[in-house]
Amino acid sequence: MKRFFTVLLTAGILAAGTGLAAAENGLEVLFPNLFSGPRGSGPIPRTTVAFEGNYAPGSIIIDTKQRRLFLVTGNGQALRYGIGVGRDGFRWSGVHRVTAKKEWPSWTPPSQMLARRPDLPRHMVGGPDNPLGARAIYLGSTLYRIHGSNEPETIGQAVSSGCFRMVNEDVIDLYNRVSVGATVYVKN
């Protein structure tokens, strides 16, 4: 147990002294499934792309057909991330604002999900085994979130109950760039 806390403390010192990449490398030893590999190497690599549209910098545009999320950076550009989207019957569209952001969020499945999947736990504390992953970005007063995933193979797939999944590395990057109050456009 003492060694576990020493490694966590070392990862925390690395994060403070040399940035997030060093902290991720330290935590990879403890939680090998937490990060998908070298920066931007998830199933669908994040990249900067040309982006047309009349959206303010900091806006998030989710294209469920493309299974991509765009963070508008301005000057006709956006960061493009791969996402997992809602499966048939669970896709939705609309405009919301980011109302909260949480690191290592806990998860309580909604009653509708428990009715479909009674085998699910009633509550899970945050951590590497939690299906919400490393970060969650809450959308309006909905039950939906943009969140990390401990199942990176689902990125690019339509498998969720309406939330948008990202590899943990990408959701951490987005979390650090987006502000509470940012507008989120979800398009089918």
The whole-number pLDDT of residue 98 equals 98
What mean pLDDT, rounded, does the chain reach? 81
Q: Which residues are catalytic?
A: 147, 163
Q: What are phi and psi of 102, to 5 degrees?
A: -135, 140
For the residues 143-156, what does the mean pLDDT come to? 92
DSSP sequence for 45-78: --EEEE--SS--TT-EEEETTTTEEEEEEETTEE
The whole-number pLDDT of residue 42 equals 62
Task: Tell me: pLDDT of 167 over 60.
Answer: yes
Q: Classify strands 60-63 and 183-187 as parallel, antiparallel or unpaired.
A: parallel
For the residues 116-124, what does the mean pLDDT come to? 87
pLDDT level of residue 108 (50, 70, 90 thresholds): confident
The number of C-alpha atoms within 13 Å of 103 and in the hemisphere containing its C-beta is 3
The whole-number pLDDT of residue 149 equals 93
The whole-number pLDDT of residue 150 equals 86
Which residues share a beta bridge with 145?
A: 138
Distance CA 103, CA 73 (A): 23
The whole-number pLDDT of residue 177 equals 98
Give the chain's count of helices (H) and strands (E): 4, 11
Write down the CATH number for the domain with range 47-187.
2.40.440.10
Contact 154, 165 (CB under 8 A): yes
Distance CA 68, CA 43 (A): 12
Q: Domain residues of the chain, as ranges?
A: 1-30, 47-187
Distance CA 106, CA 21 (A): 24
pLDDT tens digits along 4-20: 333 333 333 333 333 44
The whole-number pLDDT of residue 96 equals 97
Q: What is the pTM of this model?
A: 0.75
The whole-number pLDDT of residue 91 equals 87
Higher-scoring residue by pLDDT: 92, 38: 92
Count the Cβ atoms, other than its own, within 10 Å of residue 173.
Answer: 20
Distance CA 131, CA 107 (A): 8
Is the CA virtual torsion 129, 41, 18, 6 positive or negative? positive
Contact 69, 105 (CB under 8 A): no
6-10, 99-103, 133-137: least confident range: 6-10
Task: Tell me: pLDDT of 39 over 70.
Answer: no
